[in-house]
Each structure stands twice: as C-alpha cells, then as structure tokens.
C-alpha cells in the first residue's frame, strides 16, 4: 500500500441540486482508509447521491472529492477505475450474460478486453470469494436474487480496487442472504484489505458489521462515528424522526423501532 491509497476519501464543500431542488450538502467529510463505513438515513437523505458522486457516476455542483489522494473529477477514468469501484443501486444488465461474463467486466480497466493470466486469476478469485463457484456458466436471469446480487458484487471485487462503494447491496435479499452478504462485505475489508463504503437501510446491520457509521438527513451529515456513538436513541430519533429504543445484545447495539408499548 502506498501513501496515496492510505489517505482515505475526502469530501470538501460538496453539494448537489436536482431541477432546482437542493438534495445534498454542503458536505465536508473524511472517510478513513480501511474497514467498513455505512451510510444510513431516511429516504431522500442524500446517501446514494453522495456515494455516486464519490464514484464519479454523478458530478457535484460544487466542491471537491478525492479518493486515495486522486481528484475524482480530474483523474483519467482508466486510472480512477483502478482505485475505486462502485455497485449501483439499480443494475441494468443483459439477461443472457453468464456469471463469468459479468464478472469479467470488472477487469476491463486493467485488461481493456484482452484478458491476461492476472485477469483470469482475479475473476476466478472473485467468483470463489462470493461463493459462486460452479455457477460460472449460468445466465444472470437464471439466478435467484441473492445469487444475482453476489454476482454483481463479484464483478466489483474483480476490479480489484482499494476502495469499494456499494449502494444498497442488500436490496431484494431475504434474511439469510442479507446476513451472508454482510459477512462477505466484512470479509472483503478484513481478508482482502478493501475500504468498503455502503449505503444501507437497516441500522442494525450497520451496527453489527460496520466500523464507522455516517448518518445523513435532508442532505446533511447529522452524525459520524462508531456504532456505539451513532446507534443511540438520541441520534437515531434525530435522523429518522421516530421513537427508537436501543438495547445491547452480545456486545452489539440493536435498535428497536417496530412497535412501542403505547402503539
């Protein structure tokens, strides 16, 4: 790891408007290198907007973003794609792609379509890491929702970047597959040394698996810190505007917000 990759993600003065409507910012934020950082907040808080600006899928109206020391707006696409990869919330795919073909797309920044042995090793490693071995020749539309989501994450991991951005990777997953996905996200940070930033709706998954949590509301950062600092009634009620009780379970904080005694 060189000095540049260890600098983390920096957002300075970032803001964004859609059709005259203010949706984000100004944001001044540092996301440390390493581990898992979860972005939480209500719908429309600006979580996905912020993530896609970091990944340069969307331009900010003002401000500057750096990832691993690289200015996102001005770095050449080929170079940036070797440092940061992103899984969008909605993936439009060709149904007749196989798992192998989909994951191979993750190597394009390195191979430009001419696969080397290094590319092949990265593809196979990503498929194995996401427990997709034996499914390489299956078409994407033949997979279950959980398998399909794992295939897209495998494509992102095959890109082999230090920074991995995941926009709602648990969408459409049942309880078992959501737990499995978060375990693999955690392993990508711990075993592969990735810096993972993900948008997530379930605050209890954030509490259980993230090292840091950033809470947004109305386009602004409301709070940022460890799960112990963020998963509190005071912070969560301010962010989500609903009553929340927090309890300890096996050393992790759990937010209870489904039904209150007076309801």
- State pLDDT tens for residues 18-49: 888 999 999 999 999 999 999 999 999 999 99
- Give the residue, 77 or 263, on which the prediction is more confident: 77
Cβ-in-10-Å burial (0-12, 13-18, 19+) of 133 comes to exposed
Q: So what's the pLDDT on residue 5?
A: 47
As given in the structure block, the two tokens for residue 205 are 């998954």
**3-state secondary structure at position 136:** coil
Please give the share of the chain, as a percent, with pLDDT higher than 90: 73
Asked if residue 164 has pLDDT above 60, the reply is yes
Q: What is the DSSP letter of 201?
A: S
- Give the residue, 262 or 237, on which the prediction is more confident: 237
- Provide the pLDDT confidence category of residue 174 given band limits of 50, 70 and 90: confident
- Provide the pLDDT confidence category of residue 1 given band limits of 50, 70 and 90: very low
> Angle CA(109)–CA(112)–CA(114) in degrees, nearest 5?
130
Token pair 């795919």: residue:
93
- Give the residue, 25 or 260, on which the prediction is more confident: 25
CA-wise closest residue to 95 among 146, 143, 141: 141
- Name the average pLDDT for the chain: 91
**Sequence-ordered list of residues with C-beta below 8 angstroms from that of 101, at least 6 positions apart, any chain:** none
Taking the chain, what is the end-to-end CA distance rounded to the nearest angstrom?
53
- CA–CA separation, 74 and 238 (whole Å): 37
Per CATH, the number for 1-83+161-263 is 3.40.50.300
As given in the structure block, the two tokens for residue 14 are 């970032």
- Residue 132 vs residues 137, 151, 152: alpha-carbon distances, Å: 10, 7, 11
CA-wise closest residue to 25 among 59, 56, 57, 2: 59
Question: CB count, 10 Å around CB of 129?
Answer: 19
- CA–CA separation, 263 and 255 (whole Å): 17
Average pLDDT over residues 155-161: 93
Average pLDDT over residues 205-233: 97
Q: So what's the pLDDT on residue 261?
A: 61
Q: So what's the pLDDT on residue 3?
A: 42
Given a contact cutoff of 8 angstroms between Cβ atoms, the answer to whether 257 and 244 are in contact is: yes
**Sequence-ordered list of residues with C-beta below 8 angstroms from that of 51, at least 6 positions apart, any chain:** 39, 86, 165, 167, 197, 199
Q: What is the DSSP letter of 28?
A: E
- CA–CA separation, 228 and 214 (whole Å): 12
* pLDDT tens digits, 222-245: 999 999 999 999 999 999 999 999
Phi first, then psi: what are they for 125, rounded to 5°?
-65, -40
Average pLDDT over residues 188-217: 96
Q: What is the DSSP letter of 99?
A: H
Q: So what's the pLDDT on residue 258?
A: 80
Q: In this structure, is the dihedral angle defined by the CA atoms of residues 223, 225, 226 and 229, taken in order, positive or negative? A: negative
Asked if residue 4 has pLDDT above 50, the reply is no
Domain spans of the chain, in order of start: 1-83+161-263, 90-160
Given a contact cutoff of 8 angstroms between Cβ atoms, the answer to whether 60 and 34 are in contact is: no
- Provide the pLDDT confidence category of residue 96 given band limits of 50, 70 and 90: confident
Average pLDDT over residues 107-120: 86
């Amino acid at each position: 790891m060189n000095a540049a990759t260890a600098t983390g993600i920096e957002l300075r003065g970032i803001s964004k408007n859609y059709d005259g409507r203010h949706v984000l910012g100004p944001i001044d934020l540092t996301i440390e290198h390493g581990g898992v950082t979860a972005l939480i907040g209500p719908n429309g808080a600006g979580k996905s907007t912020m993530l896609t600006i970091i990944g340069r899928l969307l331009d900010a109206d003002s401000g500057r973003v750096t990832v691993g020391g690289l200015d996102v707006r001005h770095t050449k696409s080929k170079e940036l794609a070797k440092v940061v990869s992103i899984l969008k919330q909605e993936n439009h795919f060709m149904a007749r792609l196989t798992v192998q073909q989909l994951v191979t797309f993750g190597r394009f920044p390195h191979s430009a379509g001419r696969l080397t042995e290094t590319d092949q090793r990265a593809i196979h490693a990503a498929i194995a890491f996401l427990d997709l071995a034996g499914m390489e020749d299956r078409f994407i539309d033949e997979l279950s929702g959980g398998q399909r989501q794992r295939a897209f994450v495998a494509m992102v991991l095959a890109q082999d970047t230090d920074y991995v951005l995941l926009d709602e990777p648990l969408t459409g997953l049942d309880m078992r597959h959501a737990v499995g996905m978060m375990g693999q996200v955690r392993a990508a940070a711990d075993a592969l040394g990735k810096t993972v930033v993900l948008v997530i709706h379930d605050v209890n998954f954030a509490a259980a698996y993230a090292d840091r949590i950033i809470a947004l509301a109305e386009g602004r950062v409301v709070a940022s810190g460890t799960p112990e600092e963020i998963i509190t009634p005071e912070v969560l009620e301010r962010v989500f505007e609903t009553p929340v009780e927090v309890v300890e379970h096996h050393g992790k904080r759990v937010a209870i917000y489904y039904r209150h005694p007076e309801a």
